[in-house]
Chains A and B, each alone.
Chain A
């Protein structure tokens, strides 16, 4: 359980462990934040704040409440959403693109030289609308199952199984 040890060390303010966790999750967090704020400079600034916040609040994390990834994912989503509600963000006249994460991934040129990139691009291009909706809300926006159920007007059970099928497709593509 190397991840658990890393997280424990991180909670004991071990900078090396913090750096390892950063390397594992920063790109993922950046993707989530960018999908919300749609601006590279702001996404960068927010992500930096997210990891600094995680460092200072490391003691509040508890494995009992959920995965470390989920914990930092929550911090990232909340920070990004807070940012879009801030005055400075609104004053800058950022018009949020209605595009979901799919559009970003499809237009992401920097993905072309990454190992899993082709698979993921292929994956999102074939992705059914329902998968796009569910993944967008649950992973990128942080909706609870109840909120997702209400937004998509689907029973919670359906959300669950559909989401599982979508993630399974992704795993098959990535061979995980």
Chain B
């Protein structure tokens, strides 16, 4: 196609003016898509016409775009075609609003439930933690006690004195570990029965010739002591140890009929 002749015919100027028929305009459009030089010509014509027509505008009467925007937002125009469009838009937004609020409500409910669940979990975890702390503390105490005992048993300066069961309760037994350097005895009474109500075991240090007992005290918390090992101060030069069952509070001198165990220092 001879695009120059087409341009020179002046049809593009009429195209921009809108003076062609619908059919002619469609034909021009098809050619514009095909020939870029035609499109460039149209753009130039259009630019010139825009400038010329704009020159006829008294520029002090320009309408600010904001006033058009305001009018559109307020929807004050009477054009009947306009109203449905405005309505549709409003409905769309109100549907969105409802959808959003339903989502929000569901979301809040879910969060509320989650929150409660978490609170329960936290309090459970807290009581678990307290229990565990208690256990650890106990374990630590037992451990330090056990370590203490081992160190006592391993000490070579310790004298071990087995105490055998006597006539009143032959199955009974006990053991004294005597640390002379610290003047302490560690009394293991694992082998003694539980004392009856109102009675208490009393520990005695004995010298044999002549036989004279010295009280080392009562085992008041025999029941509650778990490992049944008691640490007792013993500054005496003992030759034997004995344990008797006495009334609560202990006695001045041992009740020999209730002598449970007795052992001689070898």
Contact = CB atoms under 8 A, between A and B. Distances in A.
Interface of A: 15, 19, 22-32, 34-35, 40-41, 43-44, 47-49, 51-53, 55-57, 63-67, 69-71, 73-74, 101, 104-105, 108, 110-111, 114, 116-117, 120-121, 123-124, 135, 138-140, 142-145, 148, 159-164, 167, 170-171, 174, 176
A48 B14 contact: no
A19 B20 CA distance: 28
Contact of A25 (B16, B50, B55, B56): B50
A81 B129 CA distance: 88
A128 B41 CA distance: 23
B48 A167 contact: yes
B79 interface: yes
Nearest to B9: A160
Contacts of A40: 58, 60-61
A164 B62 CA distance: 30
B59 interface: yes
Nearest to B26: A64
B81 A31 contact: no
Interface of A (DSSP majority class): helix
Contacts of B54: 27-28, 30-31
B39 to A, nearest CB: 9
A52 B29 contact: no
A59 B53 CA distance: 26
Contacts of A164: 8-10, 13
Interface of B, secondary structure class, is helix
B227 to A, nearest CB: 86
B44 interface: yes
A159 to B, nearest CB: 8
Given A30-B57, A104-B56, A164-B13, A55 B72 contact: yes
B29 A69 contact: no
Given A15-B69, A74-B18, A139-B49, A163 B10 contact: yes
A105 B57 CA distance: 8
Contact of B71 (A29, A48, A64, A162): A48
Contacts of B42: 67
B65 A23 contact: yes
B18 A52 contact: no
18 contacts: A22-B65, A22-B68, A23-B65, A24-B50, A28-B51, A28-B53, A34-B56, A34-B58, A52-B71, A65-B26, A66-B18, A105-B56, A108-B56, A108-B57, A120-B51, A143-B19, A160-B9, A174-B51
B1 to A, nearest CB: 18
Given A139-B17, A167-B48, A176-B47, A56 B79 contact: yes
Contacts of B21: 144
Contacts of B79: 52-53, 56
Given A56-B81, A135-B52, A47 B26 contact: no
A66 B62 contact: no
B181 interface: no
A73 B15 CA distance: 12
A51 B63 CA distance: 11
A176 B48 contact: yes
Contacts of A47: 63
8 closest A-B pairs by beta carbon, nearest first, are A31-B56, A164-B10, A160-B10, A31-B57, A27-B54, A30-B57, A40-B61, A110-B59
Given A70-B16, A110-B59, A64 B72 contact: no
A15 B69 CA distance: 9
A51 B62 CA distance: 13
Contacts of A26: 62-63, 65
B63 A69 contact: no
A66 B56 CA distance: 24
Contacts of A114: 59
B150 interface: no
B117 interface: no
A169 to B, nearest CB: 10
Given A64-B25, A174-B47, 11 more contacts: A26-B62, A28-B57, A34-B57, A48-B67, A69-B50, A101-B53, A108-B55, A145-B20, A163-B17, A164-B13, A167-B13
